Chain A
Amino acid sequence: METMFSASSVSVPREAASTFDELSMQQSLLFSDSLKDLRNLRSQLYSAAEYFELSYTNDDQKHMVVETLKDYAIKAFVNTVDHLGSVSYKVNGLLDEKVEEVSGTELRVSCIEQRLRTCQEHFDREGLAQQSLIITAPKYHKRYILPAGESMLGSGPGQAIANNEGLSDHNESNDSKLFQAVRSTMRDSPSSATRRAPSPSPSLKSRYRSPSRRARSPSPSRKARSPSPSPRPGKFFSEKRAVSPLPTSNPLLRSGSLASRPAISNSLSTVKRYPSAPRKSLSMRMPAEKDEKKEDEENTSRSKRFLKALLSRRKSQRDDMLYSYLDEY
């Protein structure tokens, strides 16, 4: 039963296909027959016209001939119209069918083109991704992206991260202590430039803090230093912070104004120190108040004491390293 059903279901499309082919064949045969009839109609009409002409001239019953001619002309005309209508209808149908086929083919071709374009875009995107992966992103030194307050270790590019990762806790603690000391002294001690130019706004305090720390000036101790500086900053920090006799508030004078330490510049007299712009701006951040004179005097006395201590230890190499460290920051 199932096999019969399947056989019948299989045979149905075949029959449909066969019927479709048969129908198309019949239509094409009818079309060709109608075209042949149209072709033969001309000769038939010419022969009929000749016949009726002869019969009209020869026959006595002309009225009958005319009536027969009329009937024949009407029938021939109707037949011609019928043939022309069927032929034109079939031609129109064929043309519409071909136009539809061409439209379908255009749609397929446009679909293929769209697929090809999509593939091309995908290839381009993949190639661009591969090429962009080849390009290495530029790596900047860590000190340029570190926020204020963090330690900046390493002098060359590429060493910052490694040195920072490889440092011990002891070095980090020493470094942070040194920075805190520098910051506190910078806040506490107003320079002479503070009095020259009043600070425009307190917001400059935070703006000029990091450049003043980063600003470098050729220090005399650094210039007169031997050409063998400490190769490892981490090592240098550990040694320096462990042995340094200077108080933590001493680095203030290194970053202070020029007028606050005339003794050291005169005594060394190797290279003249010029106050850099960040230092000026650092001094500008402090408000010019009159009640700070006492603090200034205390600071000047303190700085003099510190400078004396520095002069006593001027020739020591560790002090040179300290100066170099202070110049770097």
Chain B
Amino acid sequence: MARAGGITNAVNVGIAVQADWENREFISHISLNIRRLFDFLLHFEATTKSKLASLNEKLDTLERRLELLEVQVGTASDNPSIFT
């Protein structure tokens, strides 16, 4: 009887250990995927920031060029003697 009780305890301990290892494996998988997701978010943030910065620079340049064009067109329209 004692032997049978010892065997069942060993089996239970083995099952518990296996379940623990399975839980640890699951947690490691989840943490690994969360880390990958975090890396993806960091990369996405960096690329989005660079894209937004380049877009902002382009918009600034475009704004200045448009202002220059506006001034030139305004000057030309204010002096109609240029076209005669």
Taking a contact as CB atoms under 8 Å apart, the answer to whether B40 and A99 are in contact is no
Give the CA-CA distance A113 to B72 in the complex, in Å.
Answer: 10
Total number of A residues with any Cβ neighbor in B under 8 Å: 23
CB of A131, distance to nearest CB on chain B (Å): 15
Known A-B contacts A95-B48, A113-B65; the reply to A102 vs B58 at CB < 8 A is yes
Q: Which residues of B contact A105 (CB under 8 A)?
A: 62
In the complex, B30 has a CB within 8 A of chain A: yes
> What sequence of 0s and 1s flags, for each residue 107-141 of chain A, a beta carbon within 8 Å of any chain B beta carbon?
00100110010000001000000000000000000
> What sequence of 0s and 1s flags, for each residue 67-98 of chain A, a beta carbon within 8 Å of any chain B beta carbon?
00010011001001100100010011001001
Give the CA-CA distance A148 to B33 in the complex, in Å.
Answer: 104
Give the nearest-CB partner of B45 in chain A.
A88
Q: Which residues of B contact A92 (CB under 8 A)?
A: 48
Give the CA-CA distance A202 to B48 in the complex, in Å.
Answer: 90
Q: Which residues of B contact A64 (CB under 8 A)?
A: none
Taking a contact as CB atoms under 8 Å apart, the answer to whether A99 and B55 are in contact is yes
Give the CA-CA distance A84 to B36 in the complex, in Å.
Answer: 12
Give the CA-CA distance A80 to B82 in the complex, in Å.
Answer: 64
Taking a contact as CB atoms under 8 Å apart, the answer to whether B62 and A106 are in contact is yes
In the complex, A224 has a CB within 8 A of chain B: no
Summarize B's interface: helix, strand, loop or mixed.
helix
Q: Which of B33, B37, B55, B69 contacts A98 (CB 8 A)?
A: B55
Taking a contact as CB atoms under 8 Å apart, the answer to whether A66 and B23 are in contact is yes
Give the CA-CA distance A54 to B34 in the complex, in Å.
Answer: 24
Give the nearest-CB partner of A85 in chain B.
B40
CB of A130, distance to nearest CB on chain B (Å): 12
Give the nearest-CB partner of A123 in chain B.
B82
Give the nearest-CB partner of A81 in chain B.
B37
Taking a contact as CB atoms under 8 Å apart, the answer to whether A95 and B51 are in contact is yes
CB of B12, distance to nearest CB on chain A (Å): 13
CB within 8 Å of A: which residues of B?
23, 26, 30, 33-34, 37, 40-41, 44, 48, 51-52, 54-55, 58-59, 61-62, 65-66, 69, 72, 82
